[in-house]
Amino acid sequence: MKAEIALPTAKAGSLTRLPAASNWRNGPATPLVQRQICGWPVWLKLEKENPAGSHKDRPTLLFVAFLLLHGWIGRKPMVLIISSSGNCARALAFYTTGLGVKLIVVTDALSPVEQIESLRAFPHVEVVVINDPDATGSHAIARKKFVEGFLKKHPNAVCVDQYSSSFFPRGYDSLVEEIEAQTPGTVSAIFMSAGTGATGLCLANFKIKKRRRWKLFLVDATSSALFGKPMGKRLNSGYGNGKPTSWTMLATPSIDAVIRVPDAAAIQTCRRLSQNDGLHLGASSGATVAAFEWLATNQPFEIPNFGFPVLICPDGGHLYSSTVYNDQFLRDHGLNQLTNGKILTNSN
Ligand SMILES: Cc1ncc(COP(=O)(O)O)c(C=O)c1O
């Protein structure tokens, strides 16, 4: 006799579908503020106004919603582990609060102490700080090793991998849609820093799929190996990387240009924006504004002559009080005389 196979809950023809990524957003849009930079009116998209303080809220909320929808969390205890320099981990900590999750965050010595402290404030979070830099000053390889070792010992734990989970590029659809809704038909170019490259890939995919005419500029650190040979040790956290990522490699054919900014120029721009423009922003936002200034000064013909450029500012300056905004930190790194430095494009 043939054994009968019963599917206990699924009705014939029933499928569980996730709504479009942007439908998970239930908060207001983050602000878009206008400033004059090098004589150009530009829009700055302030992602620090997301509930957990950065653009990482978007993919993380999508990921947690998926786990909840499928009963992975919320009903039984679950261990999640993430390697993050801060923002993604904080978003994950924020959205998993009260859901029976234990979250292990693997971060490193480059992360500002205020990032680490903000994570330790969550009762369900355990923070592991790795201090094992490679030749470029990146701790990414050592962090990866730690996560692999943890998963071997705890096979039921789930790793939230920003570098391979497609929740990450998909989760930024709401960001692009929001920008376009706030600036109907007037975006001329979008500037975004790259770390994992997930936001850059989302922007690249969106541009191609929807046949947008805006240009896409990605911003990297000269000390990063994402888009070329790294120069010097990395100082800033959040953006840049010790090696190319799958997201940056997928995005590269659809990027108009990469602008690489020295860490000192990013820091100097952050401090100037904070003092003169009422904008207290994180290091990657400073790098993005510095990249725009470099382009507007040196190759203004690269900026389309319709509409307005949009500069995405991933997080706020309060997470960098001990680094970017700390004079002693600058002195310790020989930056007491901040100079503009040389900014390279991918054509150099
Ligand atoms: C402050 C900050 N800026 C920029 C980025 C880069 O975003 P992405 O990882 O999508 O490339 C990150 C990512 O970790 C970040 O935390």
Distance (angstroms) between ligand 1 centre and the Cα of 36 equals 24
Model pLDDT for residues 19-55, shown as the tens digit of each residue: 555 555 667 899 999 999 999 999 999 999 999 999 9
Cα gap 122→130, rounded to integer Å: 19
Cα gap 347→258, rounded to integer Å: 9
Cβ(88)–Cβ(239) below 8 Å: no
Q: Which ligand 1 atom is the nearest neighbour of the CA of 248?
A: 11
Distance (angstroms) between ligand 1 centre and the Cα of 284 equals 7
Nearest alpha carbon, ligand 1 atom 16:
238
Model pLDDT for residues 120-168, shown as the tens digit of each residue: 999 999 999 999 888 777 788 899 999 999 999 999 999 999 999 999 9
What does pTM read for this prediction? 0.89
Measured at the CA of 186, the angle between CA 182 and CA 191, to 5 degrees, comes to: 80
Domains of the chain by range and CATH? Answer: 24-51+168-345 (3.40.50.1100), 57-160 (3.40.50.1100)
From 118, 163, 199, mutation site for ligand 1 pocket: most ligand atoms within 8 A of C-beta: 199
Model pLDDT for residues 238-296, shown as the tens digit of each residue: 899 888 999 999 999 999 999 999 999 999 999 999 999 999 999 999 999 999 999 99
Measured at the CA of 195, the angle between CA 193 and CA 198, to 5 degrees, comes to: 90
